[in-house]
Amino acid sequence: MKEAPVLHIGRPDTAPIARGHLLAACRRGDLPAEAFPDPADRERLVRELWRAGWSDVEIATHTHMTTYTTGRIQARLGLAAHPSKTGAVA
């Protein structure tokens, strides 16, 4: 049986994390999307959340990214902004 690739994140003395566990942790919001070594994984996560109807603020909060970074990724992917669902006016 082929072993899953292991990725090291954080300090070099920390335990490695399997890619599948990393993907699951980032999808749950337990780890920031920046933990992904490949930017394409961050793009896939943003696209998944966007397709699920999440607002830009919700995506940014869940992925531990700024709304600017989230917006930049969405623009690169050609995804329109999803407004906040609160309807609050500043």
| Residue 23: predicted pLDDT | 87
Amino acid in position 26: C
pLDDT at 21: 85
- What band does 2 get if pLDDT is binned at 50, 70 and 90? low
Instruction: State yes or no: pLDDT of 90 exceeds 50.
Output: no
Measured distance CA(49)–CA(55) in Å, rounded: 9
pLDDT at 15: 65
Model confidence band, residue 65 (pLDDT cutoffs 50, 70, 90):
very high
* 21 Cβ contact partners less than 8 Å away, ≥ 6 residues apart: none
Residue boundaries of the structural domains of the chain: 6-77
